[in-house]
């Protein structure tokens, strides 16, 4: 007989826990070993039961699911947590995955989809519901762009000071205003602007701002 996957349900709504239990107990390879109604109770239950997979709600009174997941994974690195929630909320998605959740599913998934997700995570994999995965990929792409060197694509990189001037130039400030902002002489700013135009290969401030925008150099 195949060893059963031992599950811990953590959700503040009794009705939801009962519903999950009813659905999951239909699967021959699952065993519900415990339930908890908040994050702290979930940690206590994990310590006592050491389940294979935890189904974790996010929004709960007291300690929420993100904090409970963080503490659980910190204390038990082997913990396998699937966040299961009604909220398709970007902040919770990224926080939950950042602190160590291996899956993120919305509660409107089918029983079959949930069962498959549990088996995958129990076997050492990770799973994110498709609509959530798109947001995660978009966020990773945004972070990659944000972390890309500002000078990428330039044969002659801008100095740190020139980058500062470029940011202010991109905001539409005049040489005099930039000078006041950076506590430098207006003539010095004029020289910086001239160097920036030359390095960007453009003829005026407007073109410089547009080119910098294309290169992702403006914050």
- The confidence score (pLDDT) of residue 147 equals 47
Residue 128 bridge partners (DSSP): 104
Average pLDDT over residues 112-123: 92
Q: Which long-range contacts (CB under 8 A, 24 or more apart) does 181-188 make?
A: none
> How confident is the model over 104-131, as a mean pLDDT?
85
Q: Which tokens go with 62?
A: 């007291």
CA 165 remoteness from chain centre: 32
At 117, list the tokens.
Answer: 């997700």
User: Which tens digit of pLDDT belongs to each residue from 73-113?
Assistant: 999 999 999 998 876 666 667 777 778 888 888 888 899 98
The set of long-range contacts for 1-5, using a CB threshold of 8 Å and a minimum separation of 24, is 2/29, 4/28, 4/29, 4/30, 4/31, 5/29, 5/30, 5/31, 5/52, 5/53, 5/118, 5/119, 5/122
| Res 149: pLDDT | 56
Task: Report the predicted TM-score, pTM, of the whole model to 2 decimal places.
Answer: 0.61
φ/ψ of 128, rounded to 5, equals: -130, 130
Nearest by Cα to 96 from 107, 86, 78, 84: 84
Higher pLDDT, 10 or 155: 10
Q: Give which of 96, 106, 111, 115 is closest to 53, Cα–Cα.
A: 115
């Amino acid at each position: 007989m195949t060893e059963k996957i031992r599950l811990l349900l953590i959700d503040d709504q009794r009705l939801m826990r009962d519903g999950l239990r009813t659905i999951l107990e239909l699967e021959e390879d699952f065993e519900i070993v415990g339930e908890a109604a908040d994050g702290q109770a979930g940690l206590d239950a994990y310590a006592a039961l050491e389940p294979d997979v935890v189904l974790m709600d996010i929004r709960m009174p007291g300690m929420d699911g993100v904090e409970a997941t963080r503490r659980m994974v910190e204390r038990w690195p082997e913990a396998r947590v699937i966040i299961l929630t009604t909220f398709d909320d970007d902040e919770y998605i990224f926080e939950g995955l950042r602190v160590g959740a291996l899956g993120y599913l919305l509660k409107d998934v089918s029983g079959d989809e949930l069962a498959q997700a549990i088996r995958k995570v129990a076997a050492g994999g990770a799973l994110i519901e498709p609509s959530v995965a798109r947001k995660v990929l978009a966020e990773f792409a945004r972070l990659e762009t944000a972390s890309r060197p500002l000078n990428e694509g330039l044969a002659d990189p801008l100095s740190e000071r020139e980058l500062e001037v470029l940011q202010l130039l991109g905001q539409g400030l005049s040489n005099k205003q930039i000078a006041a902002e950076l506590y430098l002489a207006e003539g010095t700013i004029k020289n910086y602007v001239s160097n920036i135009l030359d390095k960007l290969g453009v003829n005026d401030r407007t073109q410089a701002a547009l080119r910098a925008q294309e290169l992702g150099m403006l914050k």
